[in-house]
Amino acid sequence: MRRLGHHRQPGKQGGGGGGKGLLAKLSIAVFVLLICTLSLLFSVSFTPITNGSTAPTKISVEELWKSANSGGWRPSSAPRSEWPSPPKETNGYLRVRCNGGLNQQRSAICNAVLAARIMNATLVLPELDANSFWHDDSGFHGLYDVEHFIQSLRFDVQIVERIPEIHKNGKTKKIKAFQLRPPRDAPISWYTTDALKKMKEHGAIYLTPFSHRLAEEIDNPEYQRLRCRVNYHALKFKPHIMKLSESIVDKLRSQGHFMAIHLRFEMDMLSFAGCFDIFTPAEQKILKKYRKENFADKTLIYKERRAIGKCPLTPEEVGLILRAMEFDNSTRIYLAAGELFGGERFMKPFRALFPRLENHSTVDASEELATNSRGLIGSAVDYMVCLLADIFMPTYDGPSNFRQQSPRSPSVLWLSNKY
């Protein structure tokens, strides 16, 4: 039977010499493959140490409690090439609605600033989704320092709090933004063609939803640095949120080291990922209903989702991994999470492994957190506590923007179900 890519050559079929030649070639190939395999195994399994010998790598728990080593690298998001200030005259106004959780919203704001720069547009202060998950109308003004945001980016884009009215011939006219749904991970070319065309036609466009609507991989270092300037410098939480966060961290640290864990075993994440198999029929019904109402229709084989690493780790799985890493039951853990789906049934095994659990409600019983513990303000406080913790541990796969505004770099242990 003939293999693809291999063809017999005329005049070289049969004969004892041809068979011996083939055997010799196969022997050489097997020998080379063996050498490569052994080299790979030794390079992965062993690390050279100072005395020239080799030994398996091992990280002690005490090392993990220390601040992460920067390796000599320093953050710098300032432009390193020609970067002109935005012109006074722009092509129109850009409105966006940032949906998803706090981290997704921050990423969308970074993309909105970059999109405005690409299109030479005036950015209207981004809207934060308040309905699909949060049921919280705090908005941009309630979370972030608006004046600082606008001033920090004045050399990058023009920003206004709302689309101004037009006064012409003694009449006042409102500009109505034309609504567009951007493709997921849209390339720059979509913004410079489709979106820009509609902006010039109508004077303003409204992009919704705006989570993951601009490609992450863009071959322009200055555009990526602009994203960094937005996330690490311009997006500054309001003073009262910072004060609440620092108060919680001070109380936690007064008793020694603490670890912050972001559990994503929540209804929205489980519904989005299609992770239903470990739940009761009634719980599965709730998850499927939420998925149908909030996410695009997509065929998934639910029973395979966990096996292929598409589901967040359960609290018990997180606990078992931590114990395997030699964290004992005296470890103090701050839980940054909303309401865990499935409730106490899934938390009980984790609590048995690590009984010293805290969250923002148990550490700080202030009225503001009590009334908004599951809203954007509670999430913002969790965000900052994670940044300031001795160890921060996400438990899901994906990019994270958590290294923002931090005076120190926590050790980050990334736990994922992708094996």
Condensed to tens digits (0 to 9), the pLDDT of residues 274-292 reads 999 999 999 999 999 999 9
Tokens of 24: 């010799």
pLDDT band at 319 (very low <50, low <70, confident <90, very high): very high
Start-to-end CA distance of the chain, whole Å, equals 37
Q: How far apart are CA 11 and CA 241, in angstroms?
A: 82
- Mean pLDDT of all residues in 170-197: 93
Q: What is the pLDDT of residue 135?
A: 60
Has residue 180 got a pLDDT over 90? yes
Place of tokens 């770099």: 409
Which one-letter DSSP state was computed for residue 163? Answer: P
> Residue 381's closest CA among 143, 211, 138?
143
Strand pairing of 127-128 and 93-98? parallel
Q: What pLDDT, on the 0 to 100 scale, is given for residue 174?
A: 86
Res. 418 pLDDT band, cuts 50 70 90: very low
Q: Are 98 and 104 in contact (CB under 8 A)?
A: yes
pLDDT at position 246 over 70: yes
The predicted pLDDT at position 63 comes to 80
237 DSSP assignment: B
Is pLDDT at 395 greater than 60 in this prediction?
Answer: yes
Burial class (CB in 10 A: 0-12, 13-18, 19+), 47: exposed
Token pair 């690493």 in the structure block, residue: 309
Q: Taking the model in full, what pTM does it have?
A: 0.77
**Segment 58-85, tens digit of pLDDT:** 667 788 888 777 788 877 899 999 999 9
Q: CA-CA distances (angstroms) from residue 331 to 256, 326, 348?
A: 10, 10, 16
Phi, psi of 374 (to 5 degrees): -105, 0
Confidence of residue 32 (pLDDT cuts 50, 70, 90): very low
Which three-class secondary structure state does DSSP give residue 410?
A: coil
Residue 230 has pLDDT above 90, yes or no: yes
Distance CA 396, CA 383 (A): 15
Local structure of 361: helix, strand or coil: helix
Mean pLDDT of the chain: 81
Cis check for the bond before 209: say yes or no (omega within 30 of 0).
Answer: yes
User: Looking at per-residue confidence, does 377 or 371 come out higher?
Assistant: 377
**Predicted confidence (pLDDT) at residue 309 exceeds the cutoff of 80:** yes
Q: Are 64 and 411 spatial neighbours (Cβ–Cβ below 8 Å)? A: yes
Say if residue 133's pLDDT is above 60: no
What is residue 338's predicted lDDT score, i.e. its pLDDT? 72
Over 60: is that where the pLDDT of 321 sits?
yes
In degrees and rounded to multiples of 5, residue 268 shows phi and psi of -65, -40
- Burial label for 365, CB within 10 Å (0-12, 13-18, 19+), is exposed
Cα–Cα distance, 360 to 336 (Å, whole number) = 8
Per the model's pLDDT, the better-predicted residue between 297 and 314 turns out to be: 314
User: In 132-267, which ranges are E strands?
Assistant: 158-160, 166-168, 171-173, 178-180, 204-207, 259-262
